[in-house]
Amino acid sequence: MDVASIAEGELKRLETEAYQLKDRLMRTLAEMENLRKRTEREVADAKIYAVSSFARDLLSVADNMDRALAALPETRDEALSAFAEGVELTSRELLKVLQKHGVKRISPSGEKFDPHFHQAMFEVEDATVPSGTVVQVMQDGYVIGERALRPAFVGVSKGGAKAQRQDTAEPAIGERQPGEGVDRSA
């Protein structure tokens, strides 16, 4: 073997090794970038959904305040009116604090049934309403971010015309627009 062929073989080996190292470096950089993006996404989700457990526990308090207000008689004396006003103010303040932390009340009456945000409790025969439409809300639901914190308990129509679909496929949970189906009046 002459020196030129040895040098040429060594050059090819070094070029191959350099290519492999560059390829490994590029893959590592891409992997690190994906890890950085995934970590950013997880941190953002943690910020949004960190209060989920606490908020879910507070929902029973909001429900009990609503029940207390519903149980009060329509005709009230002065003391009972003051009590009712205090409960209403406290209930509104609780909902305001929940909204401040990303929790929104949903009251889907008249909307198309969505199993991600609604729990069907019964069906109602009603030919005047498209089938699959929420016709009665037994208990409001709550969402945090794009996730259901607690589904709304609803009655759903059956027997009417099929509900008109705007697109051909139901959006997946992640494809749903933020706040879609959320009652902004609460």
- CATH code, 135: 2.30.22.10
**In 50-110, where does DSSP find H-type helix?**
52-71, 78-100
CB 111 within 8 A of CB 133: yes
Predicted pLDDT at 178: 43
Question: In 107-158, where do the E strands start and end?
Answer: 118-125, 134-139, 141-144, 147-150, 152-158
Is the pLDDT confidence value at 140 over 50? yes
What are residue 105's DSSP bridge partners? Answer: 142
The position carrying tokens 């009972």 is 80
For residue 145, tell me if it sits in a domain.
yes
Domain that holds residue 135: 103-167
pTM: 0.64
Residue 120: what pLDDT?
A: 94
Does pLDDT of 183 surpass 80? Answer: no
Please check whether residue 94 lies inside any domain of the structure.
Answer: no
Residue at 149 is within a domain: yes
Tokens of 25: 């470096």
Residue in the block written with tokens 């149980």: 71
Q: What is the per-residue pLDDT across 56-84, written as a single tens digit (0 to 9) for each? A: 999 999 999 989 989 988 888 898 999 99
CA distance 178 to 125: 32
**Nearest-10 Cα torsion for 72, 74, 78, 83:** 30
Domains held by the chain: number: 1
User: Is 171 in contact with 144 (CB distance < 8 Å)?
Assistant: no
